[in-house]
Amino acid sequence: MLKDKIIIVTGGASGIGRAAANLFAQDGARVMIADRSADAGAAAAEAICADGGEAAFVACDVADDESVAAMVAATVAHFGGLDGAFNNAGIEFASKIVPDLNYAEWRRVIDINLNGVFLCMKHEIAQMRRTGGGAIVNTASGAAVAASPNMAEYATSKAGVTGLTRAASCEFGETQVRVNAVLPGLILTPMTEERLFNDAGFAAALEPLLVRHSVGRFGQPDDVAQAARWLLSDLCPFVNGISLPVDGGLLAR
């Protein structure tokens, strides 16, 4: 589906991002892994290359405008262009009710989960418009639609991503830049698993969601990566502006 496409994956050093980078590379894409963790990001790119794929790594803080601009420039310099982007970098929530959240906690989640997607789209779309189009997939969350207690800053950030996705899809469809989002349910990334077992407040926030995945299991990073691959591919040229649930039926209940 993605053979020879040049694709950025933010948050590509672990979890959903790493699963996506691996899948895209297996599909023949040339992948730029972007992450704040230099060691993990470089290791992820090296592992792809060792398996016969094509990947590189660039350090990036998605909440910093100059860092994101440099990420896109590095991708174009290294691979020769940009065809797609999976804007996946994000952080979890503080597991507090609204009155107990301090402003720094609120701002940090908004800066990375929402402002980070905006900055990535800003620079990615500018590049894509110069070269004839492309496709973008943003990672939102089922929490954007059906939130639980103790996750106000996270739900707000992800609802913002869905709104931003719709708005951008209206602005750039005519220039052949498609923008869509995925809405993961409870996905067992290493970060999620660690907090489920070690953070009682986090586990309590997610408990109402556990029984609502009608397929009878939790999600895996590859479940989201497969959906992102389809949305980035040429198999869905008429799909634009959607937020696709990847949640095992969570939002259907």
* DSSP type of residue 48: H
Q: Whole domain around residue 202: which residue ranges?
A: 6-252
For residue 22, is it within any domain?
A: yes
Instruction: Considering the candidates 118, 154, 172, 202, report the single residue annotated as catalytic.
Output: 154
**Does the residue 1 lie in any domain?**
no
To which residue do tokens 């991002």 refer? 17
Q: For residue 96, give the CATH number of its domain.
A: 3.40.50.720
Which pLDDT score is estimated for 98?
92
Average pLDDT taken over every residue of the chain:
93
Q: What pLDDT is stored for residue 60 in this prediction?
A: 99
Length of the chain, in residues: 253
Q: What is the pLDDT of residue 189?
A: 84
Domain count, the chain: 1
Tens of pLDDT, residue by residue over 60-98, are 999 999 999 999 999 999 999 999 999 999 998 777 889
Give the pLDDT band (50/70/90) at residue 210. low
The model's pLDDT over 11-65, given as tens digits with 9 standing for 90+, comes to 999 999 999 999 999 999 999 999 999 999 999 999 999 999 999 999 999 999 9
C-alpha span between 160 and 141 (Å, rounded):
10
The yes-or-no verdict on residue 238 having pLDDT over 70 is yes
Q: Average pLDDT of 217-228?
A: 94
pTM of the model: 0.93
Dig out the tokens for 166 from the structure.
């719709």
Q: Examine residue 183 and state whether it is found in any structural domain, yes or no.
A: yes
Helical (H) or strand (E) element with 116: helix 116-130
Tell me which DSSP letter residue 131 carries. Answer: T
Please report which confidence band the pLDDT of residue 201 belongs to, taking 50, 70 and 90 as the band edges: low
Give CA–CA dist 195/28, Å, rounded: 34
> 130-134, 202-206, 244-248: which range is least confident on average?
202-206
Distance between CA 181 and CA 248 in Å, rounded?
16
Name the nearest CA neighbour of 141 among 119, 153, 157. 157
Residue 176 lies in a domain: yes
Verify whether residue 154 is a known catalytic residue.
yes
For the cut 80, the answer to whether the pLDDT of residue 211 exceeds it is no
In a domain, 199, yes or no: yes
Residue 205 has pLDDT above 70, yes or no: no
Query: With contact defined as beta carbons under 8 Å apart, do 238 and 174 qualify?
Result: no
What DSSP line would sit under 193-226, residue for residue?
HHHHHH-HHHHHHHHHHHTT-TTSS-B-HHHHHH
